[in-house]
């Protein structure tokens, strides 16, 4: 049944990309990356357009996933997702919610885990959207640029994109969050002393 849905979305082209990406942020079990790659293989010249469609749809779907998490997160998460994904995402959130969202944007863990978990754990919605906007832009546009520049030859590169982007992005994200925390602590100390 899932394959039939994927085939139907594929046949719809860019509209299917929009629907898949929107649903990926909410409840659909297959990441939008799968459809983005298969559609980009068919027409590499439209890869950046497909990245834009997927990105916008994902950001629009994010508040709906959040709302599901806020209203029925525990029940939903345990029914639709692997326990290992939930445990991994929960652990990341408990350590640092921002970093979990940014890293989650690049990992094979479906993005809906992070939208639903954000609502369930009462992470601020505006922060979820802000960090999702950064992370998902990188994920969608790296794939789009690869196909736009290299055509069908990018298929092999796209399969490893999460790994490469993660290896480059995670240290940068960690440095940014460290800097942000240090600046926040300094400002707090200045207020206490002033």
Supply the DSSP string of 159-173, one letter for each residue.
Answer: HTHHHHHHHHHHHHH
Q: What is the pTM of this model?
A: 0.74
Other C-beta atoms lying within 10 Å of the C-beta of residue 155: 16
Q: Per-residue pLDDT for 167 more than 60?
A: no
Q: Per-residue pLDDT for 54 more than 90?
A: yes
Q: Give tens-digit pLDDT for 64-119.
A: 999 998 898 777 777 766 777 777 767 767 667 677 777 777 666 677 878 888 88
According to the model, what pLDDT value does residue 5 have? 87
- The percentage of residues in the chain with a pLDDT greater than 70, rounded to a whole number, is 80
According to the model, what pLDDT value does residue 26 have? 86
According to the model, what pLDDT value does residue 173 have? 62
According to the model, what pLDDT value does residue 56 have? 96
Q: Give tens-digit pLDDT for 137-152.
A: 888 888 898 889 888 8
According to the model, what pLDDT value does residue 21 have? 92
Q: Per-residue pLDDT for 187 more than 80?
A: no
According to the model, what pLDDT value does residue 62 have? 92
Q: Name the pLDDT band for 40 (thresholds 50, 70, 90).
A: very high
For residues 37 and 40, give the distance between their C-alpha atoms in angstroms, rounded to a whole number: 5
For residues 105 and 50, give the distance between their C-alpha atoms in angstroms, rounded to a whole number: 17
According to the model, what pLDDT value does residue 160 have? 65
For residues 166 and 132, give the distance between their C-alpha atoms in angstroms, rounded to a whole number: 15
Give one word for 104, left, alpha or beta, with left for phi > 0 and alpha for psi -120 to 50. Answer: alpha
């Amino acid at each position: 049944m899932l394959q039939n849905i994927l085939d139907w979305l594929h046949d719809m082209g860019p509209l299917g990309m929009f629907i898949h990406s929107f649903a990926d942020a909410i409840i659909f079990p297959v990441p939008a990356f799968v459809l983005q790659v298969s559609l980009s293989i068919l027409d590499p010249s439209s890869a950046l357009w497909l990245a834009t469609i997927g990105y916008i749809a994902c950001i629009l779907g994010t508040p709906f996933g959040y709302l599901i998490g806020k209203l029925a997160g525990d029940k939903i998460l345990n029914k639709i997702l692997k326990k290992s994904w939930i445990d991994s995402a929960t652990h990341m959130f408990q350590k640092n919610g921002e970093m979990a969202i940014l890293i989650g944007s690049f990992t094979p863990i479906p993005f809906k885990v992070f939208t639903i978990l954000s609502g369930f754990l009462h992470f601020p919605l505006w922060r979820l959207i802000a960090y999702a906007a950064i992370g998902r832009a990188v994920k969608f546009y790296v794939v789009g640029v690869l196909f736009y520049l290299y055509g069908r030859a990018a298929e092999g590169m796209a399969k490893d994109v999460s790994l490469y982007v993660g290896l480059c992005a995670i240290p940068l994200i960690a440095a940014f969050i460290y800097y942000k925390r240090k600046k926040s602590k300094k400002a707090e100390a200045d207020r206490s002393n002033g």
